[in-house]
Structure 1
């Protein structure tokens, strides 16, 4: 299995089960990750795409299980209005990329229409 160090760093380190105690929103945690992890943040987009390609034929429950059980995610994307973890991960990768380019994005409060599919 491919090593997802950046993704695991974000999920287990910033969006762990107690993330609400440290951040006002998941997007605040994602912003903190993007601005505080110069080694991991630039690699996140590629890892998200690699992960989604690996699970391309799987349903979202399998992706969610991998994110929570193997990578330490404590955030519930679907409970926050996202249609799927795939959609949410693509939005996270976009958000981190925008922050790294120095373009502070507006955090999406719902899934983006027309999100790229992997």
Structure 2
């Protein structure tokens, strides 16, 4: 696992993330606003690499350390990654 994924999921998608954010994409926005540009760029690169993989299972984020599944917001993992990249690129 990459360092940026480990940090992102541990720090932002911890067990109680729902107490701080209304949605997973709000978490991504929080990361973008709180972290240095270099970290945001690294996360974008890692998410793009993840998106290039063909077999993104619904538990992909759980395996990376995050406490959520995109299906809880009506999205596949690939759809969530695309939406997260849109948030990070704004």
**Structure 2 length-normalised TM:** 0.80
SS at match of 2:59: helix
Which of 21, 24, 30 is residue 22 of structure 2 equivalent to? 24
In 1, Cα distance between the equivalents of 2:10 and 2:85?
Answer: 16
Structure whose alpha-carbon radius of gyration is higher: 1
| CA displacement at 1:4 relative to structure 2 | 2.4
Task: Report if aligned partners of 2:28, 2:88 keep a CA contact under 8 Å in 1.
Answer: yes
Structure 2: where are the runs of 5+ without partners?
none
- What is the count of residue pairs matched by the alignment? 89
| CA displacement at 1:28 relative to structure 2 | 2.3
- Where relative contact order (Cα < 8 A, 6+ residues apart) is larger, the structure is 2
Match of 1:45 in 2: 44
Match of 2:71 in 1: 78
- Computed over aligned residues only, the root mean square deviation of the Cα atoms, in angstroms, reads 1.8
**Structure 1 length-normalised TM:** 0.64
| CA displacement at 1:96 relative to structure 2 | 0.9
| CA displacement at 1:93 relative to structure 2 | 1.4
| CA displacement at 1:22 relative to structure 2 | 1.8
In 1, Cα distance between the equivalents of 2:25 and 2:59?
Answer: 21
In 2, Cα distance between the equivalents of 1:25 and 1:65?
Answer: 17
